[in-house]
Structure 1
């Protein structure tokens, strides 16, 4: 009987991997319903897949299979107030960028990374709703607003345009 359950677990993980490869984003709740298991079981399945080297990223809206593509990847350093967060995110997205993550350098823990995967105005609305309506603090609140973002966009020129726009509205960190 134990072998039967183990085979079911392995098959479910393979199916989850296929689901991730065939969708842009999928939540643990949706996967839990699909496979008739708990959300926590899915979280565990994803953790095991990641441990085996699968490039699965957790975003604010679910999981995605992170295939490296030909799009340009750049890193920016920003500093702003919590109230300017929406402006920062909208500036990046409106210029064609996707905010892959947020990174802060913490004096106790070192580098702390939070996956975001924000690519649309709806993603921004969802993120800001959770930030404003929950008892949550932005990672940048740990570092007086200083934080980094990995940005994905079409090319280096688009990335430069994003940086210039953020500098123009005083959100890009300046030495």
Structure 2
């Protein structure tokens, strides 16, 4: 059975990915919970900072224009928490992790880390899954799509990554590692 936290993450992703409003009834059916549970989930999602709008046809996510950049970074497992916390502390959201493996090609995993709480949940999931971060298959080289409210925030994040020695110069988009 899916936990409430995982269900809310799935609901956010479903609403984000939909081009039409998503009805509460459809969400309740999909996640096998009552409509009231969905209403409570939407309230919690809103409280966490998402601008979910209720329409007569369902829920939609109001998304103001978001700036983003792809950063190529390199760091150890021990520096992973510091890298992610530094990005979210400056107002960034780590949308994904991408690696370009010479044999397997382009591999991407969704992260959607936008707070220290989400950083801790991610690290706990890695630890409890007895797994290692995707970056480990490419000698710690990887990319992140980072979103923020504006270019100035992305400039601050880029400067921080450079200062901490995590940022790697990119020759072109997603060159092989």
Change (3 A) 1:79 1:68: same
Q: TM-score, normalised by structure 2?
A: 0.62
CA distance 1:146–1:66, shift in 2 (3 Å): farther
Distance 1:94 1:122, change over 3 A: same
Residue in structure 2 matching 1:138, options 133, 136, 141: 133
2:150 maps to what in 1?
155
Partners of 2:66 and 2:156 in 1: CA distance: 15
What is the deviation of 1:158?
0.8
Q: Distance in 2 between matches of 1:103 and 1:69?
A: 25
Segments of structure 1 that go 5 or more residues without pairing to the other structure are: 1-15, 36-64
Cα RMSD, aligned residues only: 2.9
The aligned residue for residue 168 of structure 1 is 163
Match of residue 50 from structure 2: none
Using the TM superposition, name which of 69-78 and 112-121 deviates more: 69-78
| Corresponding residue of 1:53 | none
Q: Are 1:126 and 2:121 counterparts?
A: yes
Q: Tell me what 1:50 maps to.
A: none
1:34–1:114 CA distance, 2 compared to 1 (3 A): same
Distance 2:100 2:61 in 1: 24
* Pair 114,67 (structure 1): closer, same or farther in 2 beyond 3 Å: farther
Aligned-residue offset at 1:132: 2.1
Seen in structure 2, the aligned counterparts of structure 1 residues 108 and 73 have a Cα distance that, compared at 3 Å, is: same
Q: Deviation string for 1:119-175 (max 9, x for gaps)?
A: 011100100111123211111000111000001001111101001111111111247
Query: How far has the Cα of 1:96 moved from its partner?
Result: 0.1
Match of 1:33 in 2: 32
Please show how residues 85-104 of structure 1 align to structure 2 within 5 Å. 85-104=80-99
SS in 2 for 1:159: helix
Q: How does 1:33-72 map to 2 (within 5 A)?
A: 33-34=32-33, 69-72=64-67
Q: Using the alignment, how far apart are the partners of 1:110 and 1:68 within structure 2?
A: 31
